Structure 1
Amino acid sequence: MVTVRYFAGAKAAAGVSSESVALNDGDTVRDVLALLTVRHGAALARVLDASSLLLDEVAVRDRSLRLPAGATLDVLPPFAGG
């Protein structure tokens, strides 16, 4: 299992603040994002494409990275601040 936490616009698009996703052996960040797109639809897919991701608080630059069981994946959409 991996825990996915959504922030700001990602939370709105997913309709939940977090969820658990069952992993298959060898699943990657890309695999989990594809599953989330199927679960939540096109609105979340657009947010995921533009979002930064953190895996256990470390920035993910390679979406082919394998996910370890028990990990936390944070979805951080772009936002304006001031």
Structure 2
Amino acid sequence: MTVVVRYFASARAAAGTEEEKVELANGATVANAIEALRALHPGGLSRVLDAASFLVNEVAVRDRGRALSDGARLDVLPPFAGG
């Protein structure tokens, strides 16, 4: 299945792209997607992923065991500072 990953702020800088399509096995979870992203972008993105929050189809995800569906959108949101 294909998931569209969108990166924001420091995640975008670390991944070197704003958006990409990632192929995952059917039944893959948010945790599986995170591991795939670590493999695709070794280095700085791993630190960002450790602290990031995630949205699946614009809904916040707390359970990284949540299953993804084909065509889902996964947003990677690093911690933001400021007010």
Scaled by the length of structure 1, what TM-score is found?
0.95
Deviant stretches of 4+, over 4 Å: none
Task: Tell me how far apart the structure 2 counterparts of residues 7 and 25 of structure 1 sit (CA, whole Å).
Answer: 26
Secondary structure, counterpart of 1:45 in structure 2: helix
Counterpart of 1:72 in structure 2 is 73
Give the fraction of aligned pairs with identical amino acids, expressed as a percent: 57
| 1:11 lines up with 2:23 in the alignment | no
Give the drift of 1:25: 1.3
Pairs within 5 Å for 1:1-82: 1-82=2-83
Amino acid at match of 1:20: K
Aligned length: 82
Gaps of 5+ in 2: none
Task: Tell me how far apart the structure 2 counterparts of residues 58 and 68 of structure 1 sit (CA, whole Å).
Answer: 14
